[in-house]
């Protein structure tokens, strides 16, 4: 004969999986995942001092590396004491490294021309006079106050002999706080526009 306590334990064991499943369904139905992507910088964000480049210059952009914490579908924010917050309901729409590579090539093409800029490594043999720009993204994150940070370093090399021409590094902080993920995406995209402009300043300093 089952005691009163034993009876309630059996009922509890039978009900809990159903209850948990129902809660999971409620969460999944009421909190859909949102997807975001970085976008090309505007002409204003790509503002660059007047400078000229040779029509013969060819620029290979890549490889571009990103921090390990950012290399995931979920968007990551920073908290106090080095804490990272990984958002389960706000994701990048594609591998973020590929997204960054594409907008960097597009931004630099806007500052030069599409026919003079390509992804590196390329699926063709670049001209000996080509220049390679390798970029390391060291930080790309939003903090608890909504400030957006981007820091990066880059190397400019001559492809013919792999000679280093110039190295540089920058740190940016958004001028306005980003209260949501849409604002964060737009602010970070604008900072990548600044990075593209600064990289082209470096290229100009060694190509003329």
- 119-128 pLDDT tens trace: 999 888 888 8
Q: How far is 200 from 192, CA to CA, in rounded Å? A: 12
Residue 134 CA to residue 148 CA, distance in Å, equals 23
Number of H helices, E strands in the chain: 3, 8
Residue 154 confidence (pLDDT): 98
124-161 residue pLDDT tens: 888 888 999 999 999 999 999 999 999 999 999 999 99
Token pair 């334990």: residue:
9
- 127 or 69, which is more confident? 69
Give the integer Cα–Cα distance in Å for 102 and 111.
Answer: 15
**What pLDDT score was predicted for residue 58?**
93
Above 80 in pLDDT, residue 21? no
Measured distance CA(183)–CA(187) in Å, rounded: 6
CA distances from 59 to 10, 32, 49, 50 (A): 70, 41, 19, 19
Query: Do 132 and 70 touch, CB atoms closer than 8 A?
Result: no
The pLDDT value recorded for residue 10 is 54
DSSP tag of 133: E
Q: How many CB atoms lie within 10 A of CB 192?
A: 24
In the numeric block, which tokens belong to residue 33?
């995942």
Is residue 160 within 8 A of residue 129, CB to CB? The reply is yes
């Amino acid at each position: 004969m089952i005691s009163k306590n034993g009876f309630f334990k059996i009922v509890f064991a039978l009900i809990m999986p159903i209850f948990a499943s129902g809660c999971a369904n409620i969460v999944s139905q009421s909190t859909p995942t949102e997807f975001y992507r970085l976008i090309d910088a505007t002409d204003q964000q790509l503002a660059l001092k007047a400078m000229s480049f040779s029509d013969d210059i060819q620029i290979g952009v890549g490889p571009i590396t990103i921090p390990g914490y950012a290399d995931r579908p979920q968007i990551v924010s920073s908290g106090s004491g080095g804490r990272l917050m990984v958002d389960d309901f706000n994701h990048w729409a594609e591998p973020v490294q590929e997204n960054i590579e594409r907008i960097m090539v597009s931004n630099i093409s806007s500052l030069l021309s599409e026919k003079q800029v390509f992804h590196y490594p390329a699926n063709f043999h670049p001209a000996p006079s080509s220049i390679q720009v390798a970029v390391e993204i060291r930080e790309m994150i939003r903090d608890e106050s909504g400030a957006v940070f981007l820091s990066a370093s880059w190397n400019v090399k001559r492809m013919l002999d792999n000679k280093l021409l110039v190295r540089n590094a920058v740190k940016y902080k958004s001028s306005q706080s980003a209260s949501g993920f849409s604002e964060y995406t737009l602010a970070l995209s604008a900072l990548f526009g600044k990075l593209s402009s600064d990289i082209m300043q470096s290229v100009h300093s060694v190509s003329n």
